[in-house]
């Protein structure tokens, strides 16, 4: 009993001293902060560039013929000396000409090789236990050309009608409507109302996009959900895509899963492994041309959909289709190679009936009528 009491008293002393995990909550934190603001004149030709790390960027529209930066810097650590060392090595540099304005977070004294590289600054913060938060609020004309480069932070925007270029990693992006947007995003979430044109490069990202006009998407290990789009050129690796109202989709996928609630345009796709599921078709659907390797394909066709059908497949491919499709003919093309053609017409034969052509090597095709 005495041993137990002694152990409890010792544990309490260690926690209060901050020696054991859990005791750190009682350790004193030191902090230092400063704010600065800067404004620059802007014309229709002025482009804006923002480069930052360890903080958030808020971009707000206004109708002034100028650009305004409001920046807050805050450093925290468990020792004042650590705070001072980190704090003194954070600067904001502004560059201005009649054609561009650049705001950049600079880490370290350029004369000091140790601080010259931002990776060294990161290592130093980790070693000293310091943390830095550098937040930008930027007021810009909505038609200005804008470029943002941010690591370890999030970007928040509303509508922007000038050309917009965004690089963000280890953070989120939330935006409104964009006329032209080129984005490179990794490790975080993206929520956008609409993009008329542009390109998205995604890595380990979760995307929610309400509408896309004409866009290119290159992605890997991501989960995009897109409400509707006119046309997308896709290069996908190990992704899970969900499209509500799909327009024309073309490109390549590998180990990806694609689901379309409704296909309203054309589908021209090369797939390697993965899945493709389509549950409905709009009146503008006219062509599906698939080249699939070890892909599981499920096509649900309504009773009112008339189409011509061709499926070239080999003996490794599993084919499932309704028995009532009496017009479908299964033809052996090459007995040695085990190649076959399943072809036929569904519904009324019309001159402009949609055409479905599929070439398969392994995998499965499930053609469902309901």
Q: What integer pLDDT is reported at residue 212 of this predicted model? A: 98
Q: What integer pLDDT is reported at residue 111 of this predicted model? A: 40
**pTM given for the model:** 0.86
Q: What integer pLDDT is reported at residue 18 of this predicted model? A: 44
Residue 41 DSSP SS3:
strand
pLDDT tens digit sequence for 85-142: 999 999 999 999 989 999 999 998 554 443 444 455 555 555 567 899 999 999 999 9
- List, in order, residues 6 or more apart from 1 with CB less than 8 Å away: none
Q: What integer pLDDT is reported at residue 127 of this predicted model? A: 57
The pair phi, psi for residue 247, each rounded to 5°, is -90, -130
Q: What integer pLDDT is reported at residue 109 of this predicted model? A: 59
Q: Which two tokens stand for residue 366?
A: 């499930």
Query: Which sequence spans correspond to the domains of the chain?
Result: 30-171, 185-369
Query: Using a CB cutoff of 8 Å and minimum separation of 24, what contacts does 20-28 make?
Result: 27/78, 28/78
Residue 201 DSSP SS3:
strand
Total Cβ atoms within 10 A of residue 314 = 15
Q: What integer pLDDT is reported at residue 88 of this predicted model? A: 93
Q: What integer pLDDT is reported at residue 129 of this predicted model? A: 74
Residue 119 DSSP SS3:
helix
Q: What integer pLDDT is reported at residue 9 of this predicted model? A: 47
Range 127-138 burial, b when 16+ CB lie within 10 A, else e: ebebbbebbbbb
Q: What integer pLDDT is reported at residue 69 of this predicted model? A: 98
- Give the residue from 174, 271, 258, 266 showing the smallest Cα distance to 223: 258
143 Cα distance to chain centroid: 24
Task: With a cut of 50, list the residues of the chain below it in pLDDT.
Answer: 1-24, 111-118
Q: What integer pLDDT is reported at residue 4 of this predicted model? A: 47
């Amino acid at each position: 009993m005495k041993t137990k009491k002694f152990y409890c008293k010792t544990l309490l002393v260690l926690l209060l001293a901050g020696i054991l995990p859990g005791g750190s909550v009682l350790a004193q934190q030191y902090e230092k902060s400063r704010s600065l603001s800067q404004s620059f004149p802007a014309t229709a030709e002025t482009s804006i560039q923002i480069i930052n790390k360890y903080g958030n960027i808020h971009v707000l529209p206004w109708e002034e013929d100028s650009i305004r930066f409001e920046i807050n810097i805050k450093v925290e650590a468990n020792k004042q000396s650590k705070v001072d060392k980190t704090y003194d090595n954070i600067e904001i540099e502004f560059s201005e000409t009649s054609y561009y304005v650049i705001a950049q977070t600079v880490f370290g004294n350029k004369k000091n090789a140790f601080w010259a590289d931002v990776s060294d600054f990161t290592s130093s913060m980790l070693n000293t236990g310091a943390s830095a938060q550098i937040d930008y609020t930027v007021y810009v004309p909505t038609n200005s050309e804008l470029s943002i480069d941010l690591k370890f932070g999030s970007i928040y925007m509303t509508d922007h009608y000038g050309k917009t270029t965004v690089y963000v990693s280890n953070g989120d992006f939330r935006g409104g409507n964009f006329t032209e947007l080129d984005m490179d995003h990794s490790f975080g979430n993206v929520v956008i109302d609409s993009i008329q044109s542009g390109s998205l490069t995604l890595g380990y990202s979760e995307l929610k996009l309400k509408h896309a006009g004409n866009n290119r998407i290159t992605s890997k290990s991501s989960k995009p959900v897109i409400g509707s789009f006119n046309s997308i050129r896709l290069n996908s690796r190990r992704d899970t895509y969900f499209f509500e109202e799909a327009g024309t989709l073309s490109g390549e996928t590998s180990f990806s899963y694609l689901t379309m609630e409704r296909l309203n345009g054309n589908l021209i796709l090369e797939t390697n492994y993965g899945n493709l599921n389509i549950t409905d078709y709009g009146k503008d659907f006219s062509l599906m041309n698939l080249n699939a390797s070890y892909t599981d394909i499920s096509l649900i066709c309504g009773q009112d959909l008339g189409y011509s059908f061709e499926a070239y497949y080999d003996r490794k491919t599993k084919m499932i289709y309704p028995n009532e499709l009496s017009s479908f003919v299964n033809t052996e093309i090459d007995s040695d190679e085990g190649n076959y053609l399943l072809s036929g017409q569904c519904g009324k034969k019309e001159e402009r009936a949609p055409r479905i052509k599929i070439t398969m090597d392994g995998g499965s095709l499930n053609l469902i009528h309901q």
